[in-house]
Structure formats: structure tokens, C-alpha cells
A and B are shown apart, each in its own frame.
Chain A
Amino acid sequence: MSSRRREPLGPYVIAWIVLLVLLGLSIVGAYQPLGAWHALLSFGIAATQTAIVFIVFMKLRGRPHLKWLFAAAGFFWLLFLFSLSAIDYATRNGFPTH
């Protein structure tokens, strides 16, 4: 955290522009006939945007290095919440009615 180091402005602005472009892509993509790929596209874009914010705005690469561990831990456990309950839903005989 040395104060003498140059503080570049460029990465922030570029990241901001990329985020807005991705937003546009998400909107345009929503109107394309992609069928089941819609979900993948919109969640893929959300994940990419999150990755950009984490890495550039939240400086995931600097000190303290351990933040990698915790940034990953949340998503890792979430993955298991999703996948293990999805096993049930995907292979249960039909869905609850209403």
C-alpha cells in the first residue's frame, strides 16, 4: 500500500466501459431467439461482470492475498448448494403440482 506508487486510472475506466458493453450485450441477447441458451447467456454475462468487478474494482490481485480464498469459498459452497439440490430436482419423478 505504498502511497508513492503511481495510481493508474486507465484500468478502472476500461472496466467500466466493458461492464456497460456487457450490459448492452445482455439486453440485445435477450431479444434473440436462443431458446434454452438464454439462461446461459444472461448468467454467463453476470458472472463475467462479477469477475471484472472483483478483479479490477475490488483489487482481488493485491494484498491481502488471502482474499482469493474467501472470494472463492462463497461461490464454492454455493456451487454445492446448487448442484446437490439440483440432483434431487433433476431426477425426482416430476415436480410438485399446485
Chain B
Amino acid sequence: MSATALELPASYLTEENTIGSWLLTRDHKRIAMMFFCSITFFFFIGGIAATLIRLHLLSPAGAFLQPETYNRLFTMHGIVMVWFFLIPSIPATLGNFLLPLMIGARDLAFPRLNLFSWYLFNTSGLLAVYFLFVGGVDTGWTFYTPYSTLFSNGHVIAAAVAVFINGFSTIATALNFVVTTHKLRAPGMTWFRLPLFVWAIYATSIIMLLATPVLAMTLALIALERLMGIGVFDPQLGGDPLLFQHMFWFYSHPAVYIMVLPAMGVVSEIITCFARRPVFGYRGMCYALITIAVIGFFVWGHHMFTSGISLLSAVVFSMMTFIVAVPSAIKVFNWTVTLHNARIQFDAPMLYALGFIGLFTLGGLTGLVLGTLSSDVHLQDTYFVVAHFHFIMVGGTVSAYFGGLHYWWSKITGRHYPEIWGRFAAILMFVGFNLTFLPQFILGYLGMPRRYYTYSTDLQTWNVLSSAGASILAVAYLLPLFYLTWSLIWGRKADDNPWHATGLEWLTASPPPAHNFLRTPRVTEGPYRYDPRDGSYVSQDGVFHA
């Protein structure tokens, strides 16, 4: 496509292919690929746990699991999915791969730190696998005291240490992203010319940096308390279990935004490209991302409305919760209006992105119900909550993750995925997801508490529907594993810019060479200069393409 493509050296994949060259690489693209392998492994570990849970709940008395096993399974599902899949999912893979490409840099600011982050992640992952095999943890991913410190007989300390180390992997990656975004942008790449994906990764990194240390300290205290019997949160020794909840949710609520902001970034890229239109209200979208990142820190108390915190603070937290919903609503409206006057193609990434909008909207709106104080008194800790956060994290984040993976697959691997299979998996995921989690809203309103391994017989219909949906969902998640792997070898070769997109990542070869660009690009245009009338576009280096 471009003149530079011809003179480029070997791609980052083929440049040198010893095992050592991968394990000691400092290339952000290779590290992204290694992260991709790691988190895919954990996605399937967590997925197996989820499948077993849903199978067990086919029968009101519980189909085949002992209560101890069931409790360990949902804990493992939560810990693995939250810390070992969702939080690193988009940032550590797509973010790692794309951030330097999108801002026109040759690598991240601290490549060795980036590699170190991957090793930290795998160390914590190994520890996680270890405690899963020696017996697991039965506290739920929330580690509430005093259950986790005094009563649980699971491997809480190993789990806490695993998450602690994992946290430092997160911090290392986030630090790298923030500094890179500040210092390594190509000439002309001003803040308001950055693609929204970069803004999203930046906002996410800020949350990671400032929330994760609090979790690390809290888990360190939990581990010490359990190990030595000190009483930081033990009511018998003067501690306050609610303080643990405050500290835990100070991290874990913003963690939801860690998961969903990058997804918003991915969706913004996909929708503009396939609608062939500039995003509606670009600056509003940037401000919304930053606003969510900041205000997302002030709402953690909405996990504690029924816990006995002061009524005044509950009211304050509820108000903050409604405020933080506003920028999310703006984003949804802006994406929708971006489709107006557009020229829409329905390739697989677009199907995932459209699915994201619908699922994220319902997830966000049911979040409002939970943020309403009186409603939360009924719905807290029921399946309504379970359904709500799965809509955000699975319907939202995982859909966007798969969308992004399909969208940039040709850039990452140099091959096309099979389009028909891509569309089929996207639709199957949407259908399976709704069938799994819509019934759970009803179960929750009927009062089925979460983390129950049995339930009363009148709730069986909805549970069976949910389990049926889960089986569809499982197939939909397995499909990409097969056809994407297949495409690595047999997929059609991709050119540099198969989607005719505007970002800098499309200016270099597919897959890109070791240091991304032979010549640092000069940026003269904002992102998303598509024209819906004829589908033409101006890429960010100012070149017009018909």
C-alpha cells in the first residue's frame, strides 16, 4: 500500500524466532502476544468453573457438587476472571500492542518493565494455579473479613499473595502506558488528535495506578491477619470488618472501570471505522473517559448500602453513583448518533461493537437500579447484581475484547480471520449471553441470593434457561479459539490497511516490523476523518485515500 511497506525488514513475528528471543524480548508487540497466551489460558480456567457452576444449578438441590466444591468454584471463577482475565484483557494485549503504534512510537517508554510485568503476571498466575490445585479458596473473590481471616479453611494467604503480585504487574503496565502517552507521542500527535482507544487506555492506567496499591495493602493486611492472628479487621480485637470493605471497594469498584473503559475505547475505534463517520462529539468522549476515571473513585460505598454504614454516607455514595452514570450515558448516546448519516458495514468487529452497545446499556441501566438506595436494599447480593455486573463485564468488556481482536487481527498476525465464522460467533455470543443473564435479573428480583448452591424448586425454570444460555455461550467462546488459530496458518494474507482505517497503526506493515515505523510518522490530522458519502478517508498523517 505505502512506499514504506516495500523497504520494511522482517516483521516482529519472523525477525528472530528462538524461544529465548521471545522470553527475553523487549518488543511491546511480542509481550502483547505473550500476554494474550497467558490470559487465554486463564479465560478457559475461569470458563470451566463457570460451566460447572451453571451445570450444577440445573437442579434446585444442586446437581453434582458438594457445597465446599461449589464455593471454591465460584471463588475461583471470580478471582481468575477478574484479576487474571478481565483486568489485563484489553490493556495488556491490545493496549500493549497498539498504544505505541497508535501514537507513532517505536516502543513503550520502559520495555524491560513491560517484560517484567509479564513475568510478574505469570508468577502470580502460577501461584493462582497452585492454590487452585491444592484445594482452592472458599471466600468469594471479595475476601470479606472476618470470614476470610478467621473462619475460612481455604488457601486465602496464597490467593492474597497471588493477587498482590498480580497488582504489581498491573501497576507496571499502567505506569508504562501513562508515561509513554505523555512522552513518546509522534510529532503533531496532540492530545486531541489521539484516537479514543489511547484516551481510554490512558484513563484506565490512571485508575490502575491509583487504585491497585490500596488493594495491595488491604490484601497484605488480610494475609498478615490470617497468618499471624493480628487483628486489623477482627472485631474481637477492636478492628472493623467494614473498614476492610471500604478499602476493598476503593479498589474494586474502580476496577470495574478498569475493565470497561478500554472496551469503550475499542468500540469507538470500530464504530467509526465501520460507520465510515467521525465519532460524534470527540471531545465529549475524551472528557467522559476522564470524568469516569475520576468520579469512579467516589462511588465505592454503593457496595455497602445494606452493610450498616452510616445512612448519610450511603446517600452521598448513591448520589455519586448517579453522577458517574452520566458520562457513560453520554458515550452511549454519542455512539448511537455516530450511526446517523453513516455508511455502515456489518463485518464481525462491528457486530461485536453493536452488541456491546446494547448489552452495556442494559448493564449500565440496571446499575442505576442498584445505585438507587431503596432498590438496593432488596437487590443487594442477589442474582440481580450477578446479572448486572456480567452485563457490564462479559456483555460489555468481553464483547469488545473479541471485537477488537477481530478488528486488529490482520494487523497483529498479517492474516484475515474467516469472516463468516466471525459473524456467526458474534451473533451466537449475543444470543447466548442474553439467554444466560436475562433470567438472572428475574431470579434476583425474586430474591435468589448469590453464592447459593441450592435454591427453592419454584426458581428452577429460570435457572435452567440460564444454564442453557451458558452452554451456547461456551460454544461461542470456543469458536474463535479454533478459527483464529486456523487463520494463523491458512488465513488469507492481509495488506497494511484492510479496513481502510485512519489510525497510525495502519500505516505500517501487517504484521509490523520490530520497531514499528521506519520513519516516525508526522501527524497532521485528528482521528476518524472518514467520509460517509463515498467511504473515503484521510489517515492521520494527512494522506487522502479514495
| Contact stretch, chosen from B33-41, B308-316, B436-444 | B308-316
Report yes or no: B243 in contact with A85, Cβ–Cβ below 8 A: yes
Partner of B313, one of A64, A74, A81, A88: A88
A91, B298: Cβ atoms under 8 Å?
no
Inter-chain contacts of A97 with B (CB < 8 A) = 235
Contact indicator B236/A84 (Cβ below 8 Å): no
Interchain CB contact under 8 A, B243 and A98: no
Q: Any chain A CB within 8 A of the CB of B356?
A: no
A14 part of interface (Cβ distance < 8 Å): no
Is there an interface contact between B236 and A88, defined as CB atoms closer than 8 Å?
Answer: no
Nearest residue in A to B254 (C-beta to C-beta)?
A77
Closest CB of chain A to B184's CB: distance in Å? 13
A66 in the interface (beta carbon within 8 A): yes
Q: How far is the CA of A73 from the CA of B214 in the complex (A)?
A: 14
B215 → A minimal CB distance (Å):
12
- How far is A73 from B317 in the complex, measured between Cα atoms in Å? 21
Complex-state Cα separation, A93 to B317, whole angstroms:
18
With A and B bound together, what is the CA distance between A43 and B465 in angstroms?
Answer: 58
B250 near A81: Cβ-Cβ < 8 Å = yes
Are B235 and A96 neighbours in the complex by a CB distance under 8 Å? Answer: yes
**B308-335 interface (Cβ within 8 A of A):** 308-313, 316-317
> Within 8 Å of chain A (Cβ to Cβ): is B246?
yes
B210: Cβ under 8 A from any A Cβ: yes
Question: Hey, which chain A residues are within 8 Å of B312, CB to CB?
Answer: 87, 91
Q: A92 at interface (Cβ–Cβ under 8 A)?
A: yes
> Does B237 sit within 8 A of A, measured CB to CB?
yes
- Which residues of chain B are within 8 angstroms of A74 by Cβ–Cβ distance? 210
Shortest beta-carbon distance, A85 to chain B, in Å?
5
Complex CA distance for A84 and B309, rounded to whole angstroms: 11
Complex contact A66–B246 (CB within 8 A): no
Find the A residue at minimum CB distance from B213: A74
Return B368 CB to nearest CB of chain A, in Å.
20
B210 and A92 contact, CB distance less than 8 A:
no
Task: Known A77-B210, A84-B298, A87-B316; judge A92-B243 contact (CB<8 A).
Answer: no
Given contacts A96-B235, A98-B236, A98-B238, are A84 and B210 in contact (CB under 8 A)?
A: no
| 1/0 contact string of B205-233 vs chain A (CB within 8 Å) | 01000100010000000000000000000
The distance from the CB of B289 to the nearest CB of chain A, in whole angstroms, is: 16
Asked whether any CB of chain A lies closer than 8 Å to the CB of B533, the reply is no
Q: How far is the CB of B218 from chain A (nearest CB, A)?
A: 11
Shortest distance from the beta carbon of B257 to any chain A beta carbon, whole Å: 14
Q: Is B240 interfacial (CB-CB < 8 Å)?
A: yes
User: In the complex, are the beta carbons of A81 and B214 less than 8 A apart?
Assistant: yes
Count class of interface residues, chain B: 20 to 34
CA distance A66 to B206 in the complex (A): 14
A80 within 8 A of partner (CB): yes
Given the known interface contacts A77-B210, A93-B310, the answer about A88 and B238 at a Cβ–Cβ threshold of 8 Å is: no
Distance of A39 from chain B, by nearest CB (Å): 19
B297 within 8 A of A: yes
B313 touches A80 (CB 8 A): no
A36 CA to B298 CA in the complex, in Å?
29
- Contacting pair B243 A91 (CB below 8 A): no
Contact of A92 among B182, B237, B239, B310 (CB under 8 A): B310
A12-51 interface (Cβ within 8 A of B): none
- If over half of A's interface residues share one DSSP class (helix, strand or loop), that class is named, otherwise mixed; here it is helix
* B404 close to A (CB within 8 Å): no
> Which residues from chain A contact B182 at a C-beta distance below 8 Å?
66
Q: Is there contact, CB below 8 Å, between B246 and A85?
A: yes
Residues of A within 8 A of B183 (CB): 64
CA–CA, A3 to B157, complex, Å?
51
- Least Cβ distance of A83 to chain B in Å? 9
Name A95's closest neighbour in chain B (CB-CB).
Answer: B240
Partner of A88, one of B241, B246, B297, B298: B246
Query: Which residues of chain B (162-203) have a CB below 8 Å from chain A?
Result: 182-183
Q: Which residue of B lies closest to A85 (CB)?
A: B246
Q: Which B residue's beta carbon lies closest to that of A97?
A: B235
A93 to B316, CA, bound (A): 17
A87 cross-chain contacts in B, Cβ below 8 A: 310, 312-313, 316
Bound Cα distance A30, B250 (Å): 33
CB atoms of A84 and B313 under 8 A apart:
yes
- Distance between Cα atoms of A35 and B316 in the complex (Å): 31
Q: Which residues of B contact A90 (CB under 8 A)?
A: 310
Q: Which residues of A contact B297 (CB under 8 A)?
A: 77, 80
B301 adjacent to chain A (CB < 8 Å): yes
Task: Choose one: B235, B236, B246, B313; the contact of A91 (CB below 8 Å).
Answer: B313
> Whole-angstrom distance between the alpha carbons of A89 and B210 in the complex?
23
CA distance A16 to B214 in the complex (A): 31
Q: How far is the CA of A64 from the CA of B429 in the complex (A)?
A: 47
- On whether the beta carbons of B309 and A92 are closer than 8 Å, the reply is yes
CB distance from A97 to the nearest CB of B (A): 7
Q: Complex Cα distance A98/B240, Å? A: 9
Q: Would you call B301 and A88 a contact (CB within 8 A)? A: yes
B93 to chain A, nearest CB (A): 26
6 nearest CB pairs, A to B: A91-B310, A98-B238, A88-B313, A92-B310, A87-B313, A91-B312
A-B contact pairs, 29 of them (CB 8 A): A66-B182, A73-B206, A73-B210, A77-B297, A80-B298, A84-B298, A84-B300, A84-B301, A84-B317, A85-B243, A85-B250, A87-B313, A87-B316, A88-B242, A88-B246, A88-B301, A88-B309, A89-B310, A91-B310, A92-B309, A95-B240, A96-B235, A96-B238, A96-B239, A96-B241, A96-B242, A97-B235, A98-B237, A98-B238
Known: A73-B206, A90-B310, A98-B239. 17 other contacts (CB 8 A): A66-B182, A77-B297, A81-B214, A84-B313, A84-B316, A87-B310, A87-B312, A87-B313, A87-B316, A88-B242, A88-B313, A89-B310, A91-B311, A92-B308, A96-B235, A96-B238, A96-B240
